[in-house]
Structure 1
Amino acid sequence: MMISLLRITYLPLILLFSFGQLHAQDQTSVIIENLNQVIRPIGSLDPDSGFKELEFLKTGLKSKRIIALGEATHGTHEFFQYKDKLIRFLVLELGFRAIAFESDFVSVEYLDEYINGKQQEMMLKNGGFPLVAETKRMLIWLKAYNMEKPMSERVHIYGLEARGFAGVIRELLDAGPDLPEEIKAEMVRFWKKEYALLTAADISSIKGMLGVLRAAKLPEVSPKKNYQYQINLLEQQLIRYGKENRGYRDEYLAENVSWILENTPQKQLVLWAHNLHLYKGTTNGFPTMGAHLQQKYGPDYYVIATDFNHGNANVFVKEGKGFSLKSVYYPELMKPKSFEFYFKQCKFKNFVLDVNEAIEIPVLHSFFSKKHDMRLIGGQEQPAVYPLVVAKNFDLILYFNETSANK
């Protein structure tokens, strides 16, 4: 009798649970079915293989002022390889001539000299740029392209910030031989000291020199040798020192994007950075670089994000008191709370998803207007996922089901 009562009691709960599962499965099937209507297959990842799957973008992107190329990790082969392809597409098909990287300004300046024939070696003097096999191949292509063009039609590349103080201070010292000797000596002491060991007194001392440096009226030869701009980078880094989670970095990155954009002849820019800097929301309660750019440029700011389901990436892993660069495997995301759960079930393993086109379909508008987790891994191992609303933050997604670490 008791067993019968238990069966009667729990039967409705079992049926309700089963119905819920079936409903969830139906919803998943509907989402995937609609995704399959709008996704376009990615063909060869080889940058030399042509732009067939990107041709549909030509009309819409030609008038954009900033086209941002994102990456879900800083260490994925497929992302860097395909971003090389996108760079070539934007240069060859749409005439873009300026590219800014989430990298050190001085380091990228040397690489710009390489692609413009002023340096014979691909030098990386101050770190801060992912000089790996994939980006080396891109730089070699850019150099070959530039060597066939007059100066007015060549591509230039820029770094968006100062990484540490050494690079900018060396540049300022080289540019300002008439600075007072005591100022020079203090600047030399400052850039030779280990970044992590700088004291409040050190920071205060160099802040006090900013006025002297500005008054020295160092030359403004070009956007590539604008020393007043480099003083701005130095000041930004001083303000940021020890305050990494207060939104300063993204605010300054956005300021620097605008400065570079306005100092390029065409007033158009390709922007290369991590997805989380490019997306149009907030992190830790502060606007991202993308949020600042969206506010200023509106629809002229266009974000292409990258995403993956599983695979390896080169990231910095904490070991004792320091970090080591290692290849880390990220397993499949198995739960419906992640976008990748749906993407991995689509008919193409790798695909292009035009978000603005997709949200015209009611089912997908609802799906992309809700917060789900997405792969967003920076230079370090964690965090691995980040909750966001795709419809508000990205315009296009490049999805790769399985990835490998960069070379």
Structure 2
Amino acid sequence: MTNLDEVRRSALPLAGPGDLTPLLERVGEARFVLIGEATHGTHEFYAWRAELTRRLITEKGFGFVAVEGDWPDCERVDRAVTTGADPYEALYSFERWPTFMWANEEVVAFCRRLRDWNAGRPPGERCGFHGLDVYSLWDSLRAIRRYAAAHLPERMGTVMEALYCFESYGHDPQQYGLATRLVPDTCEDEVVRLLSELGGDAFGVRQNAEVVAGAERYYRAMVRGGPDSWNIRDVHMADTLDRLAGHHQAKGVVWAHNTHVGDARATDMAAAGMTNLGQLVRERHREDAVLVGFGTHRGTVVAAGRWGDRHHVMRVPPARPASLEAFLHEALPGQDALFLVPPPGLRAGWYDEPMGHRAIGVVYHPERERWGNYVPTVVGRRYDAFLWLDETRAVHPLHGEPWGDVEPETYPTAM
């Protein structure tokens, strides 16, 4: 049997929501399902991820969704979906570039369905929507200040010390990182005191303090280069996921890029000294974690040509030869498919063969496909399931990108 025949025999149909049933059976009683995306701007990735999540919530009892987004922004969405408000305004208010990752019609549709699901359930059983990421240093500091002013006036001194420390470097966290590279003074002590004093308070304010601490470490590491800033970010996301599971006392779904969801040990990331969220969740929770990846051969995507530029729809060219995407397209031209690892009742050697696997970030240059955008991957070790969508379309953003200086969300990796 050729490898192409193995692909055809191991491929399960993927045409409608009912075709996800084998994947739900694979999930079983797992506590965490991490669902990826090969780009941040593809309609089908968002739509299938939303449908899988809907079934996990309604059929498997999952109690929260945690996304590769900022905590304060996502808390506005959480309030909307758990109180009955329209989540459109909360999503439209996302301002940090690239807004199209979450301020898009696909996420609005999912969140409205989540709101409707929650409306029929008591408050303690409603499904939450939260951000895992580390970038919202200033928004989290301001949220802490507002909370302390209203509820913890005795701790305002500690809060303001941290705020004043960061303000002394301006409002650009990259400048903070650059400055601390040149001189030994940092805001680390102020952040440690902030964490210590807020550690026993309401979950949201504690999490904002964790974001400030993570961001302070991240921006100091970022200017040094190397894998440390990536690792700080993904460890923060894994820690946040664990805190959310404890807070909700529930199972959780994660939405993030394949580069965060797929196990780093099955790629060249491990050799570069990098870990990621998928690896950490597997190490911490073993059989309680299911990792789901996505891929496409060609189509369109929303992205930008440079960091901070306005997004637009770009053509995704056919995958380069010898890649995972080219291989699956050759085996299943024009077809979509679901793959489980290992395939039920079959042996499929192609799962264990290293191949380049396309990864498109918010910054994308289609003309550079020959040299970049591919991560060496053993797909059967990187994921527990893989959704293959042969041709895909761009996501539908709610609005254009703001101009001016913005705090980077996924700089410098764009993933």
Say yes or no: TM over 0.5.
yes
Q: CA deviation at 1:191?
A: 9.5
Cα distance in 1 for partners of 2:360, 2:86 equals 34
CA distance in 2 between counterparts of 1:200 and 1:118 reads 45
Equivalent pair of 1:307/1:398 in contact (CA under 8 Å): yes
How far does residue 90 in structure 1 lie from its aligned partner after superposition? 0.7
Q: Which residue does the alignment assign to 1:331? A: 317
Letter in structure 1 aligned against 2:325: E
Structure 1 residue aligned with 2:339:
353
Between Structure 1 and Structure 2, how many residues are aligned? Answer: 363
- Partner SS for 1:158: strand
Deviation at 1:373? 0.9
Report whether the alignment pairs 1:75 with 2:41.
yes
Which of 201, 204, 222 in structure 2 is aligned with 1:220?
A: 201
- Of the three residues 238, 248, 264, the one matched with 1:281 is 264
1:312 aligns with 2:300: yes
Superposition CA RMSD, Å: 2.6
1:234-245 mapped onto 2 (5 Å cutoff): 234-244=212-222, 245=227
Is there any run of 5+ residues in structure 1 with no aligned partner, and where?
1-26, 45-50
SS in 2 for 1:93: helix
Letter paired with 1:387: P
Instruction: Kindly state the Cα deviation for residue 71 of structure 1 after the two structures are TM-superposed.
Output: 0.1
Q: Does 1:53 align with 2:33?
A: no
1:405 corresponds to 2:384: no
Residues 1:379 and 2:362 aligned together: yes
1-side partners of 2:169 and 2:73: how far apart?
Answer: 15
Q: Provide closer, same or farther for how the CA distance between residues 118 and 144 of structure 1 changes in structure 2, counting only shifts above 3 A.
A: closer
The CA deviation at 1:35 is: 1.7
Residues 326 and 242 (structure 1 numbering): CA distance in 2 closer, same or farther, change over 3 Å?
A: farther
- Post-superposition offset of 1:316: 2.5
* 1:356 Cα offset (Å): 1.5
TM-score (norm 2): 0.80
Give the match's secondary structure for 1:97: strand
Structure with larger Rg: 1
Deviation digits for residues 178-230 of structure 1, max 9, x if unmatched?
21296276168369713343353699453232244245447623x4x2x2332
- Matched residue type, 1:167: D
Label 1:64 to 1:191 Cα distance change in 2 as closer, same or farther (>3 A).
farther
**How far apart in 2 are the matches of 1:345 and 1:214?**
53
Give the Cα separation in 2 of the matches to 1:206 and 1:125: 27
Q: What corresponds to 1:109 in structure 2?
A: 75
Q: Is the 8 A contact 2:290 2:384 kept in 1?
A: yes
Q: Tell me the equivalent position of 2:135.
A: 163
The more displaced of 99-108 and 156-165 is 156-165
- Matched-pair contact (CA < 8 Å) for 1:162–1:237: yes
1:205 and 1:125 mapped to 2: Cα distance?
A: 29
Answer whether contact 1:70 1:304 (CA < 8 A) is retained: yes
State the shift of 1:176 in Å: 1.5
How many Å separate the matches in 1 of 2:10 and 2:82?
Answer: 40
**1:85 is matched with which residue?**
51
Cross-structure match for 2:328: 343
1:206 aligned partner:
187
Q: Do residues 133 (structure 1) and 105 (structure 2) align? A: yes
Q: TM-score, normalised by structure 1?
A: 0.82
For the residues of structure 2 that align with 1:252 and 1:184, how far apart are their CA atoms? 20
AA matched with 1:132 = N
- How far does residue 105 in structure 1 lie from its aligned partner after superposition? 0.8
| CA separation of 1:203 and 1:219: change in aligned 2, threshold 3 A | farther
- Following the alignment from structure 2 to structure 1, what is the Cα–Cα distance between the partners of residues 142 and 84? 19
Deviations 1:68-110 (A, max 9, x none): 1100000001111111111111111111111110110111111
Q: Quick one: distance in 2 between partners of 1:206 and 1:340?
A: 45
Could you tell me how far apart the structure 1 residues matched to 2:216 and 2:75 are?
Answer: 21
* 1:144 positional shift: 1.0
Change (3 A) 1:95 1:33: same
Rounded Cα–Cα distance in structure 2 between residues aligned with 1:269 and 1:203: 40
Distance 2:51 2:252 in 1: 16
Report the AA paired with residue 261 of structure 1. Answer: A
Tell me, yes or no, if the aligned pair for 1:126 and 1:167 is still in contact at 8 Å. no
In structure 2, runs of 5+ residues without a counterpart are 366-371, 397-415
Aligned-residue sequence identity (percent) comes to: 18
* One-letter code aligned to 1:36: R
Match in the other structure for 1:298: 286
